[in-house]
């Protein structure tokens, strides 16, 4: 049945193209590099991009007040200042591993829109140890 097969092929091709386009568009807006603090500071190309950073919250340089968190995030050898405004996740503490998502500002402070805490020591069935709290 060649006519039907042609139709099927055409339909399939259309669908693949459509999904491919959607996926491409979605990737472009959802694409975020994930890296460690040291890697981020070592490579200039990321300074102007939205990235997701993993590091440890400094024990000394750590200041939470109301809806603001200002802290230093430590990598292996270097550190970066992070400013976050929004609801602070329950698990956020000095010394914890955190992931922040945002961008570097002019003053060299990392402006985080997303602050996630992470605690690899225990299993949590479907109740995240991190809270994703995005600023609108």
Partner 1 sequence: MTMLVGNFGLSMAMLAALIAFLLSVAAARFRSRVFLDCARGTIAAHFVLLSISALALLAALAGSDFTLDYVAHYTERALPIGYKLAAFWAGQEGSLLLWAWLLAAMSTIAVFTMPMPRFAESSAEPAAAIATLAAVCGFFAALMLFAANPFVTADLVPTDGHGLNPMLQNPGMIAHPPMLFLGYAGYTIPFALLVGVLVGGRTDNQWLSLVRPWAMVSWLFLSIGILLGAQWAYVELGWGGYWAWDPVENASLLPWLTGTALLHSIMIQQHRGMFKRWNASLVAVTFILCIFGTYITRSGVIDSVHSFGKSLIGTFFLVFLTASIAFSVLVMIARRKLLKPEHELEILSGREGFFLATNVLLVGMTVVTLVGTIFPLISTVLADQQVTVGPTFYNKVVAPLGLLLIALMAVGPLLGYGKDAAARLARGLIVPAIAAALAMAGFAISGLTNLWALIAAVIAAAAVTAVLVDLFRSVRLFSLNHQLTIVASLAHMLPVNRRRYAAQIVHVGVILIVIGITGSSLFSQKETFSIKQNDTIQFAGRTLTLTDLRPVEAANFQALQATLQITDSHGRQSTLTPQIRQYNKWDEQASSEVSIDSSLREDVYVTLASSDGKGNVAIQVIINPLVIWIWIGGVVLTLGGLIGLFPRLARRLAAVPAAPAPAPQVKSKKSRKNRGQMGVRASV
Binding site for partner 1 (CB under 8 A): 1, 4, 7-8, 11-12, 15, 19, 22-23, 25-27, 29-35, 52, 64-67, 86-88, 90-91, 93, 99, 116, 118-134, 136
Q: Kindly state the smallest distance separating residue 28's Cβ from partner 1, in Å.
A: 9
92 vs 110 by CB, closer to partner 1: 92
25 vs 107 by CB, closer to partner 1: 25
Residue corresponding to tokens 């993993």: 54
Q: Kindly state the smallest distance separating residue 98's Cβ from partner 1, in Å.
A: 12
> Tokens at residue 52, please?
């997701």
Phi, psi angle pair for 51, to nearest 5°: -135, 170
**In a 3-state reduction of DSSP, which class is residue 114?**
strand
Question: CA 74, CA 31: separation in Å to the nearest integer?
Answer: 24
């Amino acid at each position: 049945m060649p006519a039907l097969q042609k139709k099927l092929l055409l339909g399939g091709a259309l669908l693949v193209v459509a999904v491919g386009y959607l996926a491409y568009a979605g990737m472009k807006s959802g694409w975020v590099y994930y890296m460690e603090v040291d890697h981020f500071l070592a490579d200039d190309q990321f300074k102007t991009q939205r990235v997701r950073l993993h590091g440890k919250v400094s024990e000394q340089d750590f200041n939470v007040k109301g809806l603001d968190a200002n802290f230093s995030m430590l990598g292996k050898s270097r550190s970066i200042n992070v400013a976050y405004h929004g609801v602070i996740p329950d698990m956020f503490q000095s010394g914890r591993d955190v992931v922040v998502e945002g961008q570097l500002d002019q003053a060299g402070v990392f402006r985080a829109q997303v602050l996630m805490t992470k605690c690899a020591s225990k299993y949590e069935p479907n109740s995240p140890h991190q809270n994703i709290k995005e600023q609108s």
